[in-house]
Amino acid sequence: MVMKHGFRSLPEARRALPPVRTVQVPDGPVEYISAGSGSPTIVLVNGSRVQLGTWALVFPELAAISTVFAYNRLGAGGSAKPGVPQTGVVIVDQLRAVLTAAGLPPPYVLVGTSIGGLYVNLYARRFPQEVAGVVLLASNHPDDDVLERVLRFIPRSVARAGMGLSSGSSRRNAEERFLPQTANEIAQAASFPDVPLTVVSSKSTAGVTTSPAQAATYVARQQQLAALSPRGRHITTSKASFIPEISDPALVVTTIRDVVIAGST
């Protein structure tokens, strides 16, 4: 069966997701969904302030492979608003607390998309004994300028406001504000573990919103991510999208399945 893809297919796929559950952690209620059975558990980590429904096109197929989990980080969906600065260490510790509260012990195959890739990167370094494998989907590199990844012709003041980087008490703890600290936490952490790692990069070519230098830098940094593990590999999707789980779900499912198998042996 050919998997549906693209944003037009998302509403129907979201309706088929398991019921949203809520667990209480020290920071407040956190929403999550889980399905499937087996180990390692596939842990899906969203992009910034993106809700768990973005995984809807791949979630059923992943549940047929093993246990799969997705959640709304603080500030997304019905999860609590963040009460403390959302640095990488804070977010990783929150994720571990949610997994424990949900009754999902390690080992994990960690899957991070966009900014979520930074937290997966940090998690694997801090708790390598819990990690069976890692998949990075169009992931941020610690050296990336998040505003450039949005749209370089948008005035930075507008982009900052749209991404929660402007001033104001409601946004002072937004994770985007602390990306430099998260990058420093990654740099100060232990080396990336020797686990199966696959980096899926979006097609990146120069165009209206991307200069040749930016395109080249993106490719080089994605290759650097793949080189973090001696068992790393780099795949480039043919789709020009920074959301592979929506634009190319079949590739994402196959990639995660391969890492689950490699991490189980």
Query: What are the tens digits of pLDDT across the range 187-233?
Result: 999 999 999 999 999 876 656 666 788 788 888 999 999 999 999 99
User: How many domains would you assign to the chain?
Assistant: 1
**Total residues found in the chain within this entry:** 265
SS (H, E, C) 198-212: EEEECCCCCCCCCCH
Tokens 């593990």 locate to 229
**Structural domain of residue 175, as residue ranges?**
7-263
CATH number at 195 reads 3.40.50.1820
Question: In this predicted model, what pLDDT tens digit does every residue of 207-217 receive, in sequence order?
Answer: 666 678 878 88
DSSP reduced 3-state for 137: strand
Residue 108 included in any domain: yes
Q: Which residue has the higher pLDDT, 59 or 171?
A: 59
In a domain, 244, yes or no: yes
The dihedral formed by the CA atoms of 38, 90, 142 and 250, expressed in degrees to the nearest 10: 30
In a domain, 228, yes or no: yes
- Tell me the per-residue pLDDT of 80-120, one tens digit each, with 9 for 90 and over: 999 899 999 999 999 999 999 999 999 999 999 999 999 99
Residue 221 forms part of a structural domain: yes
The more confidently predicted of residues 159 and 13 is 13
Mean pLDDT of the chain, nearest integer: 87
How far apart are the C-alpha atoms of 72 and 53, rounded to whole Å? 9
> Where is pLDDT greater, at 7 or 94?
94
pLDDT beyond 80 at 127: yes
d(CA 206, CA 184) in angstroms, rounded, equals 29
* Cβ–Cβ under 8 Å, residues 77 and 31: yes
How many Cβ atoms from other residues are within 10 Å of residue 11's Cβ?
Answer: 10
97 occurs within a structural domain: yes
Give this prediction's pTM. 0.90
Residue 41 β-bridge partners: 108
- The percent of residues in the chain predicted with pLDDT above 90, rounded, is 67
